[in-house]
Every structure is written in structure tokens, then in C-alpha cells.
Amino acid sequence: MNKNNLIMAVSVGLIAGMAFILIQPMFGMATLTSRHAEAYVNLGPYSETAALFMSWVVHLSVSIFYALLSIVVFNLNHSLLVSIVQVIVFGWVTTLIATPANEWVVKLITTRQFPAFNSLSGLNTEIGPKLWLHMVFFILVVLSLYFIRLRVVKYKRK
């Protein structure tokens, strides 16, 4: 992983992560950052401002990590077929782990202790809005990577 890929992961992750929150209400859900912030205030010793800040830091950190994973796959093979499979697989896997992962983070931040995995909800196997939203996130990431690649190739030709 080189410096350019890391910068690209941060940039793409930040943009796609913010887009995720902006479009989440269109899928009939309260935003992840608002739900986390509310839990941090209600279950932990945090002010509303600190809770909202922490919820955004957590969300954008995860978004950057997902963008980094996507860049690794994209750099290995950026064919349309692999990109479609990537969106489906990453969308599905992140949907599966979203509920227990979010519970784990909330419990970690509010109790300041690592929660036991057996205290968390099971995997989310529901095919519905969460899955579609995660797929939209990865579509945004992959489209951003294609756009960046086109710009770089065009720049190198000059």
C-alpha cells in the first residue's frame, strides 16, 4: 500500500461516508451518526457535542477502512465483473456485521470496556434497506475509483 492509495482511501472514504449519512433517511432510517450519538449520551457520560463528534469519527473511520479494502480489490482487478462482485460481496458482508458491530462500538464507548461477543445481536441476514444502502455505499466507492483512474490515465497521456 503506497501513500497515494492511502490518500485515495481517506478521500473516497470521507466522501462516500458522508454521502451514506446524507442518503440514509431516503432508505427510511434515522442516520447512524444520530443513533450512535443518542446512545452515547443516554448510556455514557458524554455531552451531545462530544457524542456527535465521536459518532462521526467512528463512522468515517469505518468508511475509510472499507474504501481501503475496496482499493486493494480494485488495484488487483478493476474489471466491471470484479467491481460488481465486490459491491455485492462487500455490501452483503457489511450488512451482515452492521448490527452487532454497531452494538459493540456503542457498548465499548459507553462502558469503556470491550463487550463480550455473546452479548451482541446476531448477524443481520435481512434483505432490505440496510443491504441496499451498503451496496449504494460501495457503488459510490467503486465509481469514485473508476473516476480517479480515468483522470490519472488521462493526465498521464498529456
Express each pLDDT in 3-59 by its tens digit. 988 999 999 999 999 999 999 999 999 999 999 999 999 999 999 999 999 999 999
108: its cell numbers: 465499548
Report whether pLDDT(61) > 80.
yes
CA 122 to chain CA centroid, Å, is 19
Give the model's pLDDT for residue 158: 59
* Nearest alpha-carbon partner for 138 in 70, 78, 74: 70
Determine contact, residues 69/90, Cβ cutoff 8 Å: yes
Q: CA-to-CA distance for 112 and 115, rounded, in angstroms?
A: 9
The count of structural domains within the chain is 1
Tens digits of residue pLDDT in 97-133 = 999 999 999 999 999 999 999 999 999 999 999 999 9
CA nearest to 11, candidates 154, 151, 158: 151
More confident residue, 2 or 83: 83
Helix axes 80-111, 32-43, angle to 10 degrees: 20
Instruction: Taking residues 127-150, report their average pLDDT.
Output: 95
pLDDT at 157 over 70: no
Residue 154 has pLDDT above 90, yes or no: no
Query: What is the pTM assigned to this prediction?
Result: 0.92
Domain that holds residue 96: 3-157
